[in-house]
Amino acid sequence: MVRIGQSILLAGIALLILPISRLTAMIGFVAIGVGCAPVYPSLIHSTPDHFGADRSQAIIGVQMASAYLGTCLMPPLFGLIAAALSVRLMPVFLLILLAVMFVTHEQLNRRK
Protein backbone atom coordinates (compact mmCIF):
# COMPACT_ATOMS: atom_id res chain seq x y z
CA MET A 1 0.00 0.00 0.00
CA VAL A 2 2.83 2.39 0.79
CA ARG A 3 4.46 1.80 -2.60
CA ILE A 4 1.13 2.22 -4.38
CA GLY A 5 0.62 5.51 -2.54
CA GLN A 6 4.13 6.63 -3.44
CA SER A 7 3.48 5.81 -7.10
CA ILE A 8 0.27 7.83 -7.11
CA LEU A 9 2.12 10.67 -5.37
CA LEU A 10 4.80 10.60 -8.05
CA ALA A 11 2.16 10.73 -10.78
CA GLY A 12 0.50 13.70 -9.07
CA ILE A 13 3.80 15.55 -8.77
CA ALA A 14 4.47 14.85 -12.46
CA LEU A 15 1.10 16.40 -13.32
CA LEU A 16 2.08 19.50 -11.34
CA ILE A 17 5.38 19.78 -13.19
CA LEU A 18 3.82 19.49 -16.65
CA PRO A 19 2.69 22.94 -17.84
CA ILE A 20 -0.50 21.69 -19.51
CA SER A 21 -3.43 23.43 -17.83
CA ARG A 22 -4.96 24.41 -14.53
CA LEU A 23 -7.19 21.36 -14.71
CA THR A 24 -4.08 19.15 -14.94
CA ALA A 25 -2.64 20.88 -11.88
CA MET A 26 -5.88 20.33 -9.95
CA ILE A 27 -5.89 16.66 -10.93
CA GLY A 28 -2.26 16.53 -9.77
CA PHE A 29 -3.18 17.92 -6.35
CA VAL A 30 -6.02 15.39 -6.03
CA ALA A 31 -3.63 12.57 -7.00
CA ILE A 32 -1.14 13.77 -4.38
CA GLY A 33 -3.88 13.65 -1.74
CA VAL A 34 -5.02 10.21 -2.85
CA GLY A 35 -1.42 9.00 -2.85
CA CYS A 36 -0.84 10.22 0.69
CA ALA A 37 -4.00 8.56 2.02
CA PRO A 38 -2.74 4.97 2.45
CA VAL A 39 0.79 5.78 3.62
CA TYR A 40 0.31 6.74 7.29
CA PRO A 41 -2.23 4.02 8.19
CA SER A 42 -0.14 1.39 6.43
CA LEU A 43 3.00 2.40 8.29
CA ILE A 44 1.18 2.37 11.63
CA HIS A 45 -0.38 -1.02 10.83
CA SER A 46 2.98 -2.59 9.90
CA THR A 47 4.84 -1.31 12.97
CA PRO A 48 4.49 -4.53 15.04
CA ASP A 49 5.83 -6.56 12.08
CA HIS A 50 8.83 -4.30 11.66
CA PHE A 51 9.75 -3.62 15.28
CA GLY A 52 8.06 -6.35 17.31
CA ALA A 53 4.86 -6.30 19.30
CA ASP A 54 6.72 -5.46 22.52
CA ARG A 55 8.10 -2.20 21.08
CA SER A 56 5.18 -1.26 18.84
CA GLN A 57 3.41 1.08 21.28
CA ALA A 58 6.51 3.22 21.77
CA ILE A 59 7.33 3.25 18.05
CA ILE A 60 3.74 4.18 17.12
CA GLY A 61 3.97 7.06 19.59
CA VAL A 62 7.12 8.30 17.85
CA GLN A 63 5.43 7.89 14.46
CA MET A 64 2.42 9.91 15.57
CA ALA A 65 4.57 12.63 17.10
CA SER A 66 6.64 12.81 13.92
CA ALA A 67 3.51 13.06 11.78
CA TYR A 68 2.14 15.92 13.90
CA LEU A 69 5.50 17.67 13.87
CA GLY A 70 5.70 17.35 10.08
CA THR A 71 2.16 18.66 9.73
CA CYS A 72 3.11 21.70 11.81
CA LEU A 73 6.51 22.41 10.25
CA MET A 74 6.36 21.53 6.54
CA PRO A 75 3.73 24.07 5.40
CA PRO A 76 5.49 27.03 7.07
CA LEU A 77 8.84 25.78 5.77
CA PHE A 78 7.53 25.73 2.23
CA GLY A 79 5.90 29.13 2.83
CA LEU A 80 9.32 30.55 3.64
CA ILE A 81 10.81 28.91 0.55
CA ALA A 82 7.98 30.21 -1.64
CA ALA A 83 8.26 33.74 -0.23
CA ALA A 84 12.02 33.82 -0.68
CA LEU A 85 12.19 32.11 -4.09
CA SER A 86 9.02 31.00 -5.87
CA VAL A 87 5.85 29.00 -5.31
CA ARG A 88 6.78 27.10 -8.49
CA LEU A 89 9.21 25.11 -6.36
CA MET A 90 6.34 23.18 -4.77
CA PRO A 91 6.73 20.13 -7.07
CA VAL A 92 10.46 20.06 -6.33
CA PHE A 93 9.79 20.33 -2.59
CA LEU A 94 7.26 17.49 -2.79
CA LEU A 95 9.60 15.40 -4.93
CA ILE A 96 12.40 15.78 -2.35
CA LEU A 97 10.05 14.73 0.47
CA LEU A 98 8.83 11.77 -1.62
CA ALA A 99 12.43 10.71 -2.27
CA VAL A 100 13.21 10.84 1.45
CA MET A 101 10.07 8.80 2.19
CA PHE A 102 10.92 6.26 -0.51
CA VAL A 103 14.53 5.78 0.65
CA THR A 104 13.65 5.46 4.33
CA HIS A 105 10.79 3.06 3.63
CA GLU A 106 13.00 0.87 1.45
CA GLN A 107 15.70 0.84 4.17
CA LEU A 108 13.05 -0.22 6.68
CA ASN A 109 11.90 -3.04 4.42
CA ARG A 110 15.48 -4.29 3.88
CA ARG A 111 16.03 -4.35 7.65
CA LYS A 112 13.11 -6.73 8.16
The C-alpha R_g of the chain, in whole angstroms, comes to 16
d(CA 100, CA 11): 16
Tell me, what's the pLDDT at 56? 93
d(CA 15, CA 29): 8
pLDDT bin (cut points 50, 70, 90) of residue 111 is confident
Per-residue pLDDT tens digits for 34-81? 999 999 999 999 999 999 999 999 999 999 999 999 999 999 999 999
Tell me, what's the pLDDT at 49? 92
Helices (H), the chain: 2-17, 22-36, 39-51, 56-84, 90-111
| Average pLDDT value for residue range 27-32 | 96
Tell me, what's the pLDDT at 112? 64
d(CA 103, CA 3): 11
d(CA 99, CA 13): 12
The percent of residues above 90 in pLDDT, for the chain, comes to 91
Mean of per-residue pLDDT scores for the chain = 94
